[in-house]
Amino acid sequence: MLTGQPRRRPIGAAFLPCALTLGMAACDDHKPTPTAPSDPGLPTFDHTASHLVVNSVADPGTGGCTPEECTLREAITAANQDPDPSEISFARKFTAAIRLDAASGQLAITEDLSITGPKGGIVIQRTSGSPEFRIFDISKDLGTATVRFTQLTIRGGQSLTRGGGIRNVETLTLANSVVSDNAAATSGGGILNAGDLTLVNSTVSGNSASISGGGIEGFAGTITLLNSTISGNQVTGTSGAGGGGIRSQDQLILIGSTVSGNSSSVAGGGISNFGEFGENSTTVTNSTVSGNSAGTVGGGIYTGNSDPSTNSFLTLLNSTVVGNSAVSQGGGINQDVNSLAAFTSLTNSLLALNVAPNAPDVFATFTGSGPGDARFNLIGVGDGATGVTHGVDGNKVGTTNAPINPNVGPLASNGGPTQTHALKPGSPALDAASTPASPSTDQRGLLRPQGSASDIGSYERQVRGGS
């Protein structure tokens, strides 16, 4: 049973980060070059904190954090005893990995805390061959704790239940950090979230779970990804809601991020936006979903709700869904057929070159207006998409017999913090989006538009100076 009180927020623009509602350039000034967008609306940390310095890789240590000897566990224990915010940093030239003692187990954080690794980062991992335990457990009995990790790599955690690397029921930010090679017996191989989780310039990779959320499981609360990568995670079991990369039951927001190379034995190879405890929503802006695979439906994204009367929203804006696959249906996106109140909205987005026997690029019903509309999109094969028509509302829609080739390059580092699919010369996505509906920059931070109008998808082809 999860403890703590997960916080829910109303769905609406007033609650979304600045970059999603106003465009990246409205949050900061940007030059027309493919550089990373600035951090939009990052949570701040109160630096009126007590400052603890880790100078030993030992675990657990001798019992107290002193200038002569202070381990990470000792520093966290001291911070938990201080009701005021605390900071933990590392001694100069501290580079060795911290291997946690099997007998001591997970590191529990119960108060406001910021942990900042050295310039080159620091690895915190479970000792190989040790009994199963997660790396961090973040939970405060009363009230809310604010926690921030910077330049940390969290590796090798294993949970017999949920959250192999991290279990969070508070407010957690990961900046310039990595969560990799963790595993959970049920859900949340890398991270289990039931609070508010923000990832900035971070990577979640190589994690696994048996039921759902190979990389991240959003049990409740809001997950926000800014300029981050979710890759190579997997769900291995043959039952459950899937989500090889991410499974969200509440609110998920992706901005400038890439979800690639994840897999699920069931649904949602990349993302499973599937709720069980109330309304759920996923908003994908200036992001790429590529090369994910599902054993059933929704190779890239699976969306719906177990309660057919409960709203479920999936919204894509200037995003690219390419090269995903599903064994049955919806290689790119699959809207659950039993979720009668599921709404999929596509604007300025590119869905093509996905693979499935039925509805290779998208299986969804579009309403034509409001939630569930589709405007200015390129859909390579629209068979399986109801309510979207070639030549209407700016949409370009192909068929099985006459597919539209988007003419994109492979997933690659094309500038900016995350990988993208570049648009090649002559692509039908060029200058075909609605400029007023587009964010001010593309996934890499390049100013839009570069031509007569914005380009469809997450990548804006640069007119001057190459792509």
The CATH number assigned to the domain holding 199 equals: 2.160.20
pLDDT in tens, 96-122: 999 999 999 999 999 999 999 999 999
Q: Provide the pLDDT confidence category of residue 295 given band limits of 50, 70 and 90.
A: very high
Query: Does an H or E element contain 126, and which?
Result: strand 122-126
Is residue 463, in this structure, part of any structural domain at all?
no
DSSP 3-state assignment of 406? Answer: coil
pLDDT in tens, 370-414: 889 999 999 999 999 999 999 999 999 999 999 999 999 999 999
Whether residue 35 is predicted with pLDDT greater than 80 in this model: the reply is no
pLDDT for 49 = 62
Q: Provide the β-strand partners of residue 318.
A: none
pLDDT for 9 = 35
Q: What is the mean pLDDT of the chain?
A: 90
Is residue 61, in this structure, part of any structural domain at all?
no
Contact 213, 188 (CB under 8 A): yes
CA 27 to chain centre: 21
d(CA 195, CA 7) in angstroms, rounded, equals 6
Averaged pLDDT, 125-143: 93
Is residue 363, in this structure, part of any structural domain at all?
yes
Is residue 466, in this structure, part of any structural domain at all?
no
Is residue 380, in this structure, part of any structural domain at all?
yes
Determine what percent of the chain is predicted with pLDDT higher than 70: 89
Contact 309, 274 (CB under 8 A): no
Residues 6 or more apart whose CB falls under 8 angstroms from that of 355 comprise: 299, 324, 325, 326, 331
Query: Is cis: bond before 17, omega within 30 of 0?
Result: no
Is residue 443, in this structure, part of any structural domain at all?
no
Whether residue 10 is predicted with pLDDT greater than 50 in this model: the reply is no
Averaged pLDDT, 325-335: 98
Contact 98, 126 (CB under 8 A): no
Query: Is cis: bond before 60, omega within 30 of 0?
Result: yes
Contact 409, 288 (CB under 8 A): no
Q: Provide the β-strand partners of residue 420.
A: 412
pTM: 0.90
R_g of the chain computed on alpha carbons? 22
Say which range, 33-42, 137-146, 221-230, 356-365, has the weakest mean pLDDT. 33-42
User: What is the residue range of 186's domain?
Assistant: 99-423
Is residue 334, in this structure, part of any structural domain at all?
yes
Provide the domain count of the chain.
Answer: 1
Is residue 4, in this structure, part of any structural domain at all?
no
